Amino acid sequence: MGFNCFRSFNFRNLEDKEVNLNSPSIFLIGKNGQGKTNFIEGIYILCFGASFRTNHDQRMIKEEKELSKIQGIFDHGKELKRDISVRLSRKSKKEIRIDSKRIHDRKELIENIPCILFSPEDLSFIKGPPECRRWFFNQTLSLFDITFIDLLRDYKRVLKSRNILLKQKNTELFDIYNDKLAQLGLTIQSKRELIIGEFNQTFLAIFKKISGLEENLEIIYKPSWKEMVSKNDVIRLLENNLEKDILMGTTTTGPHRDIFSFYLRKKDFTYFASTGQVRLISLILKVAQAEFLYQKSRKKSVLLLDDVLLELDAKKRESFLNNLPMHDQAMFTFLPDENYIKYRREDTLIYSVSEGKLEEQKV
């Protein structure tokens, strides 16, 4: 199972052609700037309906071109295949289609094709600002609980409206928005609290396997509404904070302010971790995400690993690859001087990538 093929048209620097992906293991070999990440981005878009590199769709269309399209056939097994396409235009909205039928909500992709991306930017989940870790756990929840996406959307919509009222210092509608914000926010907090214990168990087991350490690295969840157990409690807090919120022009408490932290030996890991440790933990975090998804839903993921093995020493790299989670397909990028042959399987498809052109290597 996984993607059987990928086609691109006017997408980034990629050549307009069909690429065979009929293997559970794909290697993309090339120097930096040749198109490896562009290919990984194309696959990611077919899974999520959006890029992990830009919020501006037009930037993915080749220069001086008006349209771009990427397409892939995803094999679910049991003779069930899906034809997925994403069309980008400089003049109109993005079009996503499954089996030629246009869909208007990316949830349908996320629900059907779980995908886990490993990229150098994953360091931000450990060392970056709190919103990076909130984003990670929001995605983790959304991958197996698709209703969480709507819950987040509704919360953000109410939060945005309340913040507008705060800036306007218009207090007439606060009762309505406080009630909605409390109800939605407590549901988000409850779902986060429910998964963090389970996720910690998965994360710690993988951490010990890959790192070879017996220490307990723990993810601590600190809700903004920590002591709030009812909607009325939250409403009272919002009312008590109203003057402060008006002064700041924003809602100063709620799930959008929640904190996730990594603790080792009862200390915040991010303050003393080395760059190498942060890189390893960020990889383990993504392995745990894919494994957790499989535990909760029995769905195997498509793994996209973009230049993430280079900074690991040989021992850690081998341990990481030996402990990859259950998956349908894995796509790796390597530089030409890396010893990628060592990690190939008998059925691995290997492509050299140069100036956007992919050519299959026969080994």
CATH code: domain of residue 280? 1.20.1050.90
Q: Are residues 46 and 186 in the same domain?
A: no
| CATH number of the domain encompassing residue 316 | 3.40.50.300
How many alpha carbons lie under 13 Å from residue 278 in its C-beta half-sphere? 18
pLDDT band at 362; cut points 50, 70, 90? confident
Neighbours of 57 (CB within 10 A): 18
Q: Are residues 28 and 137 in the same domain?
A: no
Q: Are residues 273 and 167 in the same domain?
A: yes
User: Domain containing 193: what range?
Assistant: 121-299
Q: Are residues 304 and 182 in the same domain?
A: no
Chosen domain end from 252, 276, 299:
299
Query: Is residue 348 within 8 Å of residue 23, measured between CB atoms?
Result: yes
Chosen domain end from 299, 330, 349:
299
- The residue ranges of DSSP E strands in 172-215, in sequence order, are none
Q: What is the pLDDT of residue 212?
A: 86
For the segment 261-277, the average pLDDT, to the nearest whole number, is 88
Q: Are residues 170 and 235 in the same domain?
A: yes
Chosen domain end from 299, 323, 346:
299
In this predicted structure, the answer to whether residue 79 has a pLDDT above a threshold of 90 is no
In this predicted structure, the answer to whether residue 80 has a pLDDT above a threshold of 90 is no
DSSP β-bridge partners for residue 5: 20, 73
Q: Are residues 168 and 305 in the same domain?
A: no
Q: Are residues 341 and 275 in the same domain?
A: no
- DSSP assignment of 254-270: SGGG-EEEEEETTEEGG
How many residues in the chain? Answer: 363
Phi-psi region of 279 (alpha: psi -120 to 50; beta: other; left: phi over 0): alpha
Q: Are residues 87 and 9 in the same domain?
A: yes
pLDDT band at 111; cut points 50, 70, 90? confident
What 3-state class would DSSP assign to 220?
strand
Q: Are residues 133 and 108 in the same domain?
A: no
In this predicted structure, the answer to whether residue 42 has a pLDDT above a threshold of 90 is yes
Element (H, E) at 54: none
pLDDT single digits (tens) 294-341: 999 999 999 999 999 888 888 888 899 989 988 999 999 999 999 899
Q: Are residues 246 and 187 in the same domain?
A: yes
Q: What is the pLDDT of residue 289?
A: 97
Distance separating alpha carbons of residues 314 and 153, to the nearest angstrom: 43
| Mean of the per-residue pLDDT values of the chain | 94
pLDDT single digits (tens) 153-163: 999 999 999 99
Per-residue buried b or exposed e for 291-329, using 16+ beta carbons within 10 Å of the residue's own CB: bbbbbbeebbbbbbbbbbbeebeeebbebbbeeebebbb
Higher pLDDT, 117 or 172: 117
For the segment 72-99, the average pLDDT, to the nearest whole number, is 93
pLDDT band at 275; cut points 50, 70, 90? confident
pLDDT single digits (tens) 184-203: 999 999 999 999 999 999 99
Domains held by the chain: number = 2
Query: Is residue 110 within 8 Å of residue 146, measured between CB atoms?
Result: yes
pLDDT band at 284; cut points 50, 70, 90? very high
